[in-house]
Structures are given as C-alpha cells and as structure tokens.
C-alpha cells in the first residue's frame, strides 16, 4: 500500500478533506485516481501538501496567490504581459539597481537549472 485516501492524507498533512478537494480544484495538487474515482495521495503529494502549508504561513500568502503564480508559469502570454507592465515601473529610490536585479535573475536561472537537473526532493528553506 503506497497511496492514502483523502481522509488519511488530510490526517497526516493537517488539511481537511474539504480543503484537499479545494486545493485540487484550483489546480495546485491533483492526485491520481483509482478506477472508481477515489483520490490517491502518494508520498510526493503528501510532502507537497505539508510544504504548501509552510509556504502560506511563512510568507502570509493565500492559496489563490500560489494558484496565480502557477498560472503565471503556465500561461506565457500572461506572464509576458505582467512582466512588461511591471518592467515599465519607474525607478523608485529604494528599489534595487538594474544590475543587482539582473544578477538576481541570473542566479535564479542557475537555481532553476539546478532544480531541473538534480530533480530530487526540494530543499525546504525553513
């Protein structure tokens, strides 16, 4: 037995079954199904459910925010348009310089490549 039912998954992750269905509906975690349609939560899903709670709590964001970030990642027309709009932002005194920001972007790029190639469980930067 590898996969847990929705109630078992709720138990071990601290969510309610209701919320697991909601998290699925907004596209964040979509578990496999049995032939009869029962949801099956595997180790990967359980881990992601736990880290999702941390993510929300640590940064005071909501499920809708994470869903929007996912949408940004999947819809390149959207992310391009939002990026364009934000990039046109006038320089504010306390904002980072273009240089600093570009360096940050490059480091982020390196992180993404690393994540793609190693592809293990993510480091939960608690």
Binding residues vs DNA (CB under 7 A): 5-8, 16-19, 21-22, 26, 34-39, 62-64, 67
Distances in Å between the Cα of 16 and the Cα atoms of 6, 10, 59 are 9, 5, 21
**Dist. CA 18–CA 13, nearest whole Å:** 13
**Dist. CA 55–CA 22, nearest whole Å:** 17
State the minimum distance, in angstroms, from the CB of residue 96 to DNA. Answer: 26
Q: Which residues bind a copy of itself (CB under 8 A)?
A: 30, 44-45, 47-48, 51-52, 55, 58-59, 61, 65-66, 68-70, 72-90, 92, 95, 98, 102, 104-106, 108-109, 111-113, 115-116, 121-125
């Amino acid at each position: 037995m590898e996969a847990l039912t929705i109630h078992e998954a709720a138990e071990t992750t601290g969510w309610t079954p209701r919320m697991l269905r909601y998290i699925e509906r907004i596209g964040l975690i979509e578990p496999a199904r049995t032939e009869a349609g029962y949801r099956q939560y595997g180790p990967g899903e359980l881990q992601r459910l736990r880290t999702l709670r941390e993510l929300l709590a640590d940064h005071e964001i909501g499920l809708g925010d994470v869903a929007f970030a996912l949408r940004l990642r999947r819809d390149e027309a959207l992310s391009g348009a939002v990026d364009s709009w934000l990039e046109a932002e006038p320089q504010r005194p306390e904002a980072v310089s273009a240089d600093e920001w570009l360096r940050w972007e490059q480091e982020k790029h390196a992180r993404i490549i690393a994540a793609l190639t190693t592809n293990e469980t993510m480091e939960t930067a608690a």
